[in-house]
Structure 1
Amino acid sequence: MESIKLNTENLGRIADSVAIPLYDRSKIKAGIVHVGIGGFHRAHQALYTDQLLHKKGNENWGICGVALLDFDRKIYNTLKEQDGLYTLIVKELDGSLTTTVIGSIVDVLYAPEDPKAVIEKMASPETKIITLTITEGGYNYNEATKQFDFSNPLVQHDLKHPSEPKTIFGYLTQALKLRKERDQKGLALQSCDNVQGNGHILQSMLLSFVEKAEPGLVDWIKKEISFPNSMVDRITPATSSLDVTALKDTMGVDDEWPVVCEPFKQWVIEDDFITGRPAWEDVGAQFVNDVVPYEKMKLALLNAGHSVLGILGALKGYSTIDQAAGDINIARFLGLYMDNEVTPTLGDLEGVDLKKYKHSLIQRFGNIYIKDQIERICSESSAKLPIFLLPTITAQLKTRGNIDFAAFVIAAWAIYSLGLDENGNKIVIKDAISEVLQKRAIEAKENPKTFIEIEGVFGDLKNEALFVESYTTSYYNIKNKGLEACIVDLNSKILNKINE
């Protein structure tokens, strides 16, 4: 099949093959600036916004996408060439595909090339909301000190060269400074990342930076800027070359960077937008007074569940999450972990059928058509696990609840960090502190406790005797008996205890 290049001019030519935007994109104004235009944003917030733009009266809520980092040039170039358009491919549980061209990103900017343009866009009166997907590590939060990390070289650069920032905090500070100087209204800064209390964390980290960079701006921010918390959920694996080729061959659409995702999506948002907001609730988002319970549930079950499958699956030699979820022993391990260690920490979740939610997660993880790469899930584990898994350990220690499953995962991570699976194949470790992890993993072969003494990851857990004992026991068991035998033993131990 002859393929047609995706852009505004060619939309009419592909309309018979895929759903296309039915609104006039030339009349859409970018009331939202979004930083981090990767796959998740394009499968989630940009989709909700696209659906809303199909309803009349929402013309002021288009998105200007900002590629913040040097290595974001490819996605910037792709979207620029495609007029902000891209194809969203939903891989249904039965293997069928739902394919839609999304049009809500009406402008794109590349920050390293023109930082002033990004600052001016953020400062524009047209901009009412700035949203972020900058990953868990992008908030520059030190888990051990619970403070902003001023030792980060990029932060030091922003303090010395404020007009040429490299971090989100440098950009936001300069943009908000302009809004104040121009006597403009404030706006909402909305995190869409997997960070518990993401709005609160963003507020705290930004104010910490501003106190050093522009101390005269602090009071204005406290008065004029709101920081709504949100909980986001949609499994969005990295796009593969096969996805690009399949789109050309089956739909005749030449899209250099489509996005693939699962059918499930969820967005729970705290209703705290100081200068107005889109009616995202009209297209399925949920506005609530308190996001925390939903957020905690999702981080501790879905995100931690992904990490559990990723780390254990990697050691077994699996390459995708569905393979790990299809391993009956690993799947049982995950189910017992969620039931016996996570669920007791969640408290009352009004309106949530927790049993049904956990069952749905197992189904979602096992979607054989998603092929979410374990390498992607395990990347930046040093930033993810303190958010997804360690809070469960901390909460369970306070009540002397079971922590054996979580401690086992940490032990498996220490062994994973040596860089080889149990078959002797290389594991690619993608992590900001990969050198530290590998160094400590090697030292852990002689003294397992060395690994959990990485203070920036584990904080004070090295001083918790129950955790240290469980972790150390798991470490030696895995090394001596192998992963699968240990998983089977731990599953049996808990099941026997439940049946007593």
Structure 2
Amino acid sequence: MTCKLSLATLSDAAKTATIPAYDRASLKPGIVHFGVGNFHRAHQAIYLDDLFNEGQNHDWAIIGAGVLPSDAAMREKLAAQDFLTTVVEQDNNKTAARVTGPMVGILPVGDSGAIIAKLSDPAIRIVSLTITEGGYFIDAAGKFNPAHPAIAADGQNPSEPKTVFGLIVAGLKAREEKGIVPFTVMSCDNIPHNGAVTRNAVLGTAELSDPAFAVWIKANVAFPNAMVDRITPATGQREIDLLKDTFGIEDNWPVYCEEFKQWVLEDKFTAGRPALEKVGVTFVPDVTPYEHMKIRILNGGHAAIAYPAALMDIHFVHDAMEEPLIRAFLATLENDEIIPIVPPVPNTSLKDYFALIERRLLNPKIADTIPRLAQDGSNRQPKFILPSTLDNLRQGKDVVGLSLVSALWCRYFAGTTDSGKKIAFNDASADRLHAAALKAKDDPMAFLAFEDIFGEVSQSEVFRKRFAHALKTLWEKGTRATLQLYLDGKLAV
């Protein structure tokens, strides 16, 4: 017997899952969140659900918002179940389901008027974002691009914005005109200095239409930096069926995730905040050390294993970590070239942190996939891998392993695995990367020509030499043999 998730069926869901201990009718929205995807529902929404379960801060519920067709699809699926979500937390030793309810609605996607009206509501005191690394209109150096056609269009027509940042500017403008305290803009995306990046995007968008108002935003709006962490795979029919078969709950878009979660946040808010410290959020004056640790060691590790695993026809992350060559490659890379250039983190052992990462990646219940880790590399490589490469080069250190990561990415974009299987790309820059990767088989520098991706790194003779040799070896000997040469200390020339 199964139940279709809704407020009316919570008592049935409670037979196999934890349900909210609070009355949904008691909640009032205090946050507008752009990008209601899996990570948001497994992370920020979980912390708020925990807080609400303790009887705290019921005036900080979430109203979703979005600008993409996928946001409209999510709105339709969640509206059919009263905006409830089933989150399944999986550890090696247990699996538990919980129904969460901190989201009370999603604004009509594409309706600028409705979104701006909600943003100008005094009850809304935080606007948060999980719009992925590619949603910030930034280049390899993290610099905002105001010339992007979508941003330029909002600059020309600020009263009918279509981008997240145009909507935020319009919402802040409406509040300023009404004398309402501005909301805090809080990014929850995996981007170095995500608060600063968001601030630059909002200011850059405002400057196109109203430079004076951009000055006002700079002086009055808070953009706290944050480090967020929880491995959250994409949802497919497998997860939908698994929830139904295991827990008897029919959820249109459940979320499966690991048990571990972390949120480190700068305590900089213009209009108050929920008491998230009561449910495990760490508030700090400066999130930079935690951010470097997570982005370089975890996200960099994801990028490091994604492409050799893909070339070796491995689908799941835990299977990749069970492959001795890949696990040894990751450990050697981290210990030799990544961890040594990560600045110290308060009360944290970086070696212990990496050991935790290894355990998390080995969790077979998560069923995280290599295609998910390999997607959007044109945005992820400049944020997760190349900064470590650049820091090593600036310190006069070698980059044999990190150059191999870039070469593996290039080899991946040639379009076939070592066994000849075709690779399905998921990257906004796939066409140009594929064309360049094919040319790079004979001319490795063709792949390094993308200044927006490689930036200063591509100008290093050491990196160019290491990259070219690694790519040549991958084509001549294959991924397994190349990884072994690296582990044997024989890849460098």
TM-score, length basis structure 2 = 0.97
- Asked if the contact 1:300–1:392 (Cα under 8 Å) also holds between the matched residues in 2, the reply is yes
Letter in 2 for 1:107: G
Q: Which amino acid aligns with 1:70?
A: P
Where 1:31 maps in the other structure, the secondary structure is: strand
Q: Letter of the 2:120 partner, please give it.
A: A
* 1:363-402 paired onto structure 2 within 5 Å: 363-402=359-398
Contact 1:67 1:75 in 2 (8 A): no
Q: Which residue of 2 aligns with 1:125?
A: 122
- Structure 1 Cα separation of the partners of residues 210 and 2 of structure 2: 51
Instruction: Tell me how far apart the structure 2 counterparts of residues 172 and 46 of structure 1 sit (CA, whole Å).
Output: 21
Q: Write the distance in 2 (CA, Å) between the matches of 1:203 and 1:189.
A: 8
Decide whether the 8 Å contact of 1:148 with 1:209 is kept in 2.
Answer: no
Partner residue, 1:469: 465
State the match for 1:79 in structure 2.
78
Partner of 2:91: 92
**Of 286, 292, 298, which aligns to 2:294?**
298
Question: 1:494 Cα deviation (Å)?
Answer: 8.1
Q: Which residue of 1 aligns with 2:226?
A: 230
Match of 2:38 in 1: 39
Equivalent residue, structure 1, for 2:483: 487
- What letter matches 2:21 in structure 1? L
Partner of 1:282: 278
* Separation of aligned partners in 2, 1:414 and 1:362: 25
Alignment partners' CA distance in 2, 1:134 and 1:345: 29
Cα separation, 2, equivalents of 1:261 and 1:402: 36
Retained in 2: the 8 A contact 1:187–1:224?
no
2:491 & 2:410 partners in 1: Cα distance?
26
1:252 to 222, 225, 248: 248
- The correspondence of residues 295-374 of structure 1 with structure 2, limited to 5 A, is 295-374=291-370
State whether residues 68 and 110 of structure 1, in contact with CA within 8 Å, keep that contact through their aligned partners in structure 2: no
Aligned-partner residue type, residue 165 of structure 2: F
Aligned letter for 2:268?
A: D
Instruction: Check 1:202–1:423 CA distance in 2 against 1; reply closer, same or farther (3 A cut).
Output: same
Q: What is the root-mean-square deviation in Å for CA atoms of aligned residues?
A: 1.5
Specify the SS of the correspondent of 1:141.
Answer: coil
Does residue 160 (structure 1) correspond to residue 160 (structure 2)? The answer is: no
SS of the counterpart of 2:99?
strand
Is the 2:267–2:284 contact (alpha carbons within 8 Å) kept by the matching residues of 1?
Answer: yes
Q: How far, CA to CA, are the matches of 2:476 and 2:363 in structure 1?
A: 33
**Bigger mean CA deviation after superposition, 126-135 or 65-74:** 65-74
Unpaired segments of 5 or more residues in structure 1? Answer: none
Q: TM-score, normalised by structure 1?
A: 0.96
Matching residue of 2:25:
26
Name the SS of the counterpart of 2:29 in structure 1.
coil
Task: Write the distance in 1 (CA, Å) between the matches of 2:178 and 2:490.
Answer: 63
Alignment of 1:97-176 (within 5 A): 97-112=95-110, 114-143=111-140, 146-176=142-172
Task: Give the superposition deviation at 1:275.
Answer: 1.1
How far off is 1:495 after superposition? 12
Q: Give the match for residue 452 of structure 1.
A: 448
1:321-370 Cα shifts (integer Å, max 9, x gaps): 11111111110110111111011211222200211110111111111111
Q: How far apart in 1 are the matches of 2:246 and 2:463? A: 52
1:269 alignment partner, SS class: strand
**Superimposed CA distance per residue, residues 65-84 of structure 1 (whole angstroms, 9 cap, x where no aligned partner):** 11321222221101111111
Q: Does 1:196 align with 2:192?
A: yes
**Other structure's SS at 1:459 match:** helix
Q: How big is the shift at 1:64?
A: 0.6
1:407, 1:467 within 8 Å by CA — same for their partners in 2? yes
In structure 2, what is the Cα distance between the partners aligned to 1:487 and 1:143? 27
Separation in 2 of the partners of 1:150 and 1:219?
16
Query: What residue in structure 1 maps to residue 65 of structure 2?
Result: 66
CA distance in 2, matches of 1:119, 1:421: 47
- 2:107 match: secondary structure: strand
The Cα shift of 1:12 comes to: 1.8
The question of whether the paired residues in 2 share the 8 Å contact of 1:316 and 1:421 is answered with yes
CA distance in 1, matches of 2:368, 2:13: 28
- How far, CA to CA, are the matches of 2:195 and 2:310 in structure 1? 33
Structure 1 residue 416, shift from structure 2 partner: 0.4
* Displacement after TM superposition at 1:31 (Å): 0.5
2:7 matched to 1:8? yes
Contact 1:420-1:427 at 8 Å conserved across structures: yes
4+ residue runs over 4 A deviation: none
- Name the stretch that deviates more: 70-79 or 288-297: 70-79
Quote the offset at 1:36 in angstroms: 0.5
Alignment gaps of 5+ in structure 2: none
Task: Work out whether residues 183 and 271 of structure 2, in 8 Å CA contact, stay in contact via their aligned partners in 1.
Answer: yes
CA contact (8 A) 1:67 1:76 kept: no
